Every structure is written in structure tokens, then in C-alpha cells.
Amino acid sequence: MDKLWAPWRIKYVQSKREAGCLFCKIHKQKKDSNNYIALRSSTCFVVLNRFPYNNGHLLITPYRHISEPDKLNDEEVLDMHRVTLKMKEAIQKILRPDGFNTGLNLGRAAGAGITEHIHLHLVPRWIGDTNFMPVLSETKIISESLKGLYRKLKRIA
């Protein structure tokens, strides 16, 4: 069984949060390049994860502040799915991963760092992306800056 270790994320997971919802704040600010919002659709938006498991780790989240998938309406479900497929295609063109992980972390016990606002993870994966660096030196190699990837995504998405 392959495992993607990300021990550097524990600082983020255990950190104290500012009051209010991060996703609600950044989508209302309309500062997309500062917040790395790569795409806005009718019901959701896509933001680059600032604490990625892998290069190209994206979060797709509805504008509405909801915490559970059963609270999504039909339009949001369909839009989030379409946006996920569009971003998967964009990441495929830019980074050429060997595969993807997608999913929802529902609740802190499931790994959710932000529990109050649902978001879908789209994580590119490469064969061999779990190597000795994170295990031996607690170092993860992210091969491209957020800014660089953001610029490429904005051109395609």
C-alpha cells in the first residue's frame, strides 16, 4: 500500500484559526490573485491549497457557507462536479500527473482542517511521489511555486 506522508501539515492542522470562515472571507474579498482563486463558477470557486499534499492540490468549494454534502443543492452538486472535471483537465495539461485523488474530508477526525465549510480536494499524484525526503528529513519537494501554477491555471481555466 502506498502512503502519502505529509508531516509538515500538522502545524497547519493544529494551528489556531482566525475568527470567521476562511473560504467565505477570500471569496468575498475579490482579490483572486492574492488568494490564489483560480476559477469562479456560478455556485463555487477553486483555490490553490497553500498547504498542499502535492503540487497542484486544489480545493473546490461552494460560495454558500455549508458544512455537509447533503446541504448542497442540485445546482451546486452539478457545478462542483463540472468544475472538478475542468480543473482536473487543466492540471493534467500543466503538470501531467499519473493520477488524482479527489474527495471530501468531513469532520476533524476525517482530516478536515476547515470543518465548517465543505470543500472538495483535487490532488494530483505521481508514481513515486512518496519518497525518502518526507520520511527521513521531513521535507516535501513541491516543484512549482503557487504563483507560477496559479498563472498557468488562470490561462487555461
Per the structure, how many domains does the chain have?
Answer: 1
Q: What's the pLDDT at 133?
A: 46
In a domain? residue 14 = no
Q: Which residue has the cell 475542468?
A: 86
Q: What is the pLDDT along the chain (157 residues), one digit of tens a residue?
A: 555 566 666 665 666 666 788 899 999 998 999 999 999 999 999 999 887 778 899 999 999 999 999 999 999 999 999 999 999 999 999 999 999 999 988 777 777 677 789 999 999 988 876 644 454 445 555 566 778 788 888 887 7
In a domain? residue 3 = no
Residue 144 is part of a domain; what is its CATH number?
A: 3.30.428.10
In a domain? residue 126 = yes
Query: Which among 27, 57, 117, 119 is annotated as catalytic?
Result: 119
Phi-psi label, residue 92: left if phi above 0, alpha if psi -120 to 50, beta otherwise: alpha
Q: Does the active-site annotation cover 119? A: yes
In a domain? residue 12 = no
Distance between CA atoms of 157 and 112, rounded to whole angstroms?
26
In a domain? residue 96 = yes
DSSP bridge pairs for 122? 58, 102
In a domain? residue 147 = yes
In a domain? residue 113 = yes
In a domain? residue 57 = yes
Residue 84 belongs to what domain range? 19-156
Cα dist. 43→60, 95, 121 in Å?
Answer: 10, 26, 17
Distance between CA atoms of 7 and 29, rounded to whole angstroms?
31
